[in-house]
Amino acid sequence: MALLNRSQILQADDLKTEDVPTPEWFPDGEVRVRGLSAAERVKIAQRSMNGSGQVDSQQALDLLILIPVLCCVDSTGQPLFSEGDVEALGKKDGAPLQRIMETALRLSQIDVDDRTKD
């Protein structure tokens, strides 16, 4: 096995994507979802905890919207949304947001069940 150098690592296109059906928004419509980057994982972890390091249930629910904001991209990989869109997306049907979030977490190899166990 070859050892990678800095340049090879930084140039690697390592965030997986998957197209997710969103018929609630448009018949036969799909949204491209990519996995979370390392920096986004940190942001998600910070947003889901309260001041004492415990998972805050309201903040965890907000992730249902924040993760799609971070992970929905266009055909060139550019974000579809900004954090300014969180409120507007919060008014949309939760089913496609749930599918998008679950896909992003799976692509990121984050097992939600493991994070919620004692």
Q: Using 50, 70 and 90 to split pLDDT, how confident is the model at 117?
A: very low
Stretch (H or E) spanning 102? helix 94-107
pLDDT of 84-96, one tens digit each?
A: 998 899 999 999 9
Kindly state the DSSP code that residue 98 receives in the 8-state scheme.
Answer: H
Q: Using 50, 70 and 90 to split pLDDT, how confident is the model at 112?
A: low
Q: What is the pLDDT of residue 101?
A: 95
Tell me the C-alpha distance between 82 and 85, whole Å. Answer: 6
Stretch (H or E) spanning 30? strand 30-34
pTM for the full predicted model: 0.84
How much of the chain, in percent, has pLDDT values that exceed 70?
Answer: 83
pLDDT of 39-76, one tens digit each?
A: 999 988 887 776 666 666 666 678 889 999 999 999 99
Which of these CATH numbers, 3.30.2220.20, 1.10.3720.10, 3.30.70.370, 3.30.160.250, describes 14-115? 3.30.2220.20
Q: What is the pLDDT of residue 118?
A: 44
Q: What is the mean pLDDT of residues 13-37?
A: 97
